Structure 1
């Protein structure tokens, strides 16, 4: 799922002035390509259809919305000339667009590019898996029900360079979503290619610092080439980035150590081995993120629909062992659905996750007791369950640990691991074709709803197929509550309710470990922005 299914789902947009030390380098040195890796294939280059984190990582290099995040994760203006101050009790945002913003095919970036993109995404015929990014826009619900046309969505162009957005309720995360999710499309190419827009690099245009090249929709390598039409092109120093998908941590480390790539991501035991290499350790970067790893139970299945099983499955996992012995990357146990660092609770000044409480205690004895109840309730002694995961090294290691813990505490349970490319995993989850799925979710707003919205009725990423009336009622009340303390009290109650239901299994708060060459400057990571932005990179 940045909100992205990172599924590692699901996301979860980028100009700036380069640091001074890069400016003295000659043009010749900057012509050298930067070689980097990606942990998974791209799902799509169409912002209206993207759900995975890695497609959005690509879009951070190629596509700008009204705003973007700078290298420190702060929201700053992009296609809009400034951050808009909302009117109409916080529900109307009016933005003036830059006149010098162009697409890579030469078209002007206009307000209508945003209008068409937003309408296209909420149009049921587009079959966008994440249309509810626009759930706070006026008439979104009616459009989804088919009682209004997409043209009724709360967005309109007021002339060529002015965009107005009308919300049905206040959205505290609007600026962050405008920087990461509310992206425009090139109308010329959408008209030309229709549903095939963004299915390869020739069917999409860029309005950001780089243009996607040499990607055919399935390839595990591609390029980012400097966008000559980009309004901030003078600040972009490196002209080409070569990207290759590398799913094996040991391979990523070897490529880096050999100087064949200058940036890569590693996890698990590879991190420990790398830390023991003095030269590589100096080039290691660790970042604790607000991304979370969790499991969805399909509550329509026999075991997934049993609350005692779901609780036993959570109790059987020692998250301290999982993070320190299996991941070994600085990740920390997740106490509930919301990661630490997302927001503070104004009622007590504590981190919201801490204020909510710890619902992930490890207890083997209790897990075994509940399993005995499950067998009686379901009338059997032997059960099979398939654990779905993506095929990266780190994900497979986590799955194997969980498999061992479940089979130890729940005798008679056989756990089969099914690992596959991330895109395939996401598709199976959307189809409901799974028992339990382990994945990552990258919320990108400093608000608890970035995670809690996942389990609301109507959320397309509610893969559990479970709706709780009380939880929904609390979340809906929070949506319309304008008093911050009362709102957070409602969100806290909702989070606690969700944890008790156990329709998901919180695993850990993700840390990211990158290797970045000492020959390259300008590459940084932050809590809410863990994808490197190559617009800032330079050869030292």
Structure 2
């Protein structure tokens, strides 16, 4: 990773006193309750695309690698770091022999081969599949032109893997730490069929915990210590109960009454808790944005999209509405990605690409309406029905209607899972969403807007943009400086064409009981509980 283009994301952090000894004595608490801000959509690692599903996947599964507290890769089920050959296009990885599934079966190289093949198989409809783009034959397999068995991963023995790439990929080692590359135990998955991952009883695990108490729709579940986990001596909690808390008042009350040991908070509640020693704030390299369905007549027009982007006061949104340590978005790619050679931050180097200019917005709005043969317009913003999104909804509605003449904006706030499914099916005009990275490269964001990306919910298609990303990802893969320049071009192009409006760069804020130690905050901002303990 040190020789790759990027240094990586902001360092992970470990909560609690690092000097303390982890406790397994009789006085140490073995069970805690915590809050989540969103319901769980799936326990299937091939389908875990949203943050809540990804967070759960990380607690109950384990891949080849993980991130340490500094943000660097460390072996998990891998016995060591990958050996590269063929100019960086071939990876050979030996596995530890003590990995086990929660049914007691060993975790083998064949489980990784099957997991990857299933994720890339078009029948799975995995929105994570594109993370494996660049693995040999990925495109042909994912498009159904070749069998999943043709994917460039194979077992060289029970505990040895070989991965072949079409071309060197600077950030590929980080992909080996994310859920898209996790193993799956074929006999169990195929026995469950369509039920696999739809609830906790029809899912198999190989991580420090197993998921219990989730029926596929309820707002509560638990992480219970996996008795078959290879490193269970370093798992200190027997059970962690999780409940979805959608209102700040309820969550804070339960925290103050000691019912919950950890809760995420946002909005004015962050300001209210200023000075509280239990407050934990972490900047996350993530972006929250308003994405437009370019298949709709109104949003097919570039001037309309640009007008909407110019009509929103981003400083006011973060400082007056959110008040949660988020910062105004300067562009699509957030701060946190650094060039290994120059040490320059990608977003800071790009400069202010996002601007508030209501007068120019009016000009472009009228021009766009005229091009479409319209005298007025209306559309609906789709969002999740939690406290934070409600505030953003109301602010955007006010800003857009006040700054753009003859516009009517409606709000459709729905449960989180409903918002996800509606966005994926294209059943929206504009949708509030966000993205946090899973690997340390700006392409984690920029790839989202490529024409064939499964997470391009707005279906924006632009041949010039696709070519820029192809040049960066393939043609300049071996030239870090040129690659960086091309990615900057792509980032600016997104701002010029406005398929989405970046609103703010994310922060993650929690109230955490001071007795809860050893939590590691991962690259996407959420906590890992493997080594957590009560002191």
* Structure 1 and Structure 2 fold alike (TM over 0.5): yes
- Counterpart residue number, 2:225: 226
Matches of 1:224 and 1:409, distance apart in 2:
48
- Counterpart residue number, 2:353: 359
Matches of 1:72 and 1:62, distance apart in 2:
22
The reply to whether residue 517 of structure 1 matches residue 513 of structure 2 is yes
Matches of 2:435 and 2:114, distance apart in 1:
27
Matches of 1:151 and 1:187, distance apart in 2:
14
Query: 1:371 offset after TM fit, Å?
Result: 2.0
Matches of 1:449 and 1:314, distance apart in 2:
22
Count of equivalent residues: 520
Deviations 1:261-316 (A, max 9, x none): 000100001111222xx5xx110000010011112111111211111111111111
Matches of 2:26 and 2:469, distance apart in 1:
54
1:428 partner SS? helix
1:205 partner SS? coil
Task: Give the conservation status (yes or no) of the 8 Å contact 1:343–1:446.
Answer: no
2:444 alignment partner, one of 429, 438, 450: 450
Query: 1:259 offset after TM fit, Å?
Result: 0.8
Matches within 5 A, 1:133-172: 133-172=131-170
Matches of 1:221 and 1:305, distance apart in 2:
41
1:304 alignment partner, one of 299, 303, 320: 299
Query: 1:101 offset after TM fit, Å?
Result: 0.8
Task: Give the conservation status (yes or no) of the 8 Å contact 2:437–2:524.
Answer: no
Matches of 2:18 and 2:265, distance apart in 1:
27
- Counterpart residue number, 1:487: 483
Unaligned runs of 5+ in 1: 1-12
Query: 1:499 offset after TM fit, Å?
Result: 1.4
Query: 1:251 offset after TM fit, Å?
Result: 1.5
Query: 1:475 offset after TM fit, Å?
Result: 0.9
Query: 1:72 offset after TM fit, Å?
Result: 4.2
The reply to whether residue 83 of structure 1 matches residue 74 of structure 2 is no
- Counterpart residue number, 2:128: 130
- Counterpart residue number, 2:215: 216
Matches of 1:19 and 1:331, distance apart in 2:
27
1:344 partner SS? coil
Task: Give the conservation status (yes or no) of the 8 Å contact 1:25–1:539.
Answer: no
1:157 partner SS? strand
The reply to whether residue 384 of structure 1 matches residue 378 of structure 2 is yes
Task: Give the conservation status (yes or no) of the 8 Å contact 1:186–1:204.
Answer: no
The reply to whether residue 318 of structure 1 matches residue 313 of structure 2 is yes
The reply to whether residue 538 of structure 1 matches residue 533 of structure 2 is yes
Deviations 1:154-193 (A, max 9, x none): 1111111111111112122212111113111122311210
- Counterpart residue number, 1:291: 286
Matches of 2:176 and 2:70, distance apart in 1:
17
Task: Give the conservation status (yes or no) of the 8 Å contact 2:62–2:76.
Answer: yes
Taking a change above 3 Å as real, the CA distance of residues 405 and 121 of structure 1, as seen in their structure-2 partners, is same
Unaligned runs of 5+ in 2: 1-11
Deviations 1:338-361 (A, max 9, x none): 111122374x54211122232211
Deviations 1:109-137 (A, max 9, x none): 01111111111111112222332121111
- Counterpart residue number, 2:258: 259
Query: 1:25 offset after TM fit, Å?
Result: 5.4
Matches of 1:145 and 1:524, distance apart in 2:
38
Matches of 1:70 and 1:225, distance apart in 2:
23
Task: Give the conservation status (yes or no) of the 8 Å contact 1:111–1:163.
Answer: yes
Task: Give the conservation status (yes or no) of the 8 Å contact 2:112–2:183.
Answer: yes
- Counterpart residue number, 1:3: none
TM, length-normalised to structure 1: 0.93
Matches of 1:196 and 1:89, distance apart in 2:
42
Moved more, 72-81 or 220-229: 72-81
The reply to whether residue 504 of structure 1 matches residue 504 of structure 2 is no
Task: Give the conservation status (yes or no) of the 8 Å contact 1:22–1:539.
Answer: no
1:476 partner SS? helix
Deviations 1:7-58 (A, max 9, x none): xxxxxx9x9xx95624345235332x11111111111111112211101101
Query: 1:485 offset after TM fit, Å?
Result: 0.6
- Counterpart residue number, 2:416: 422
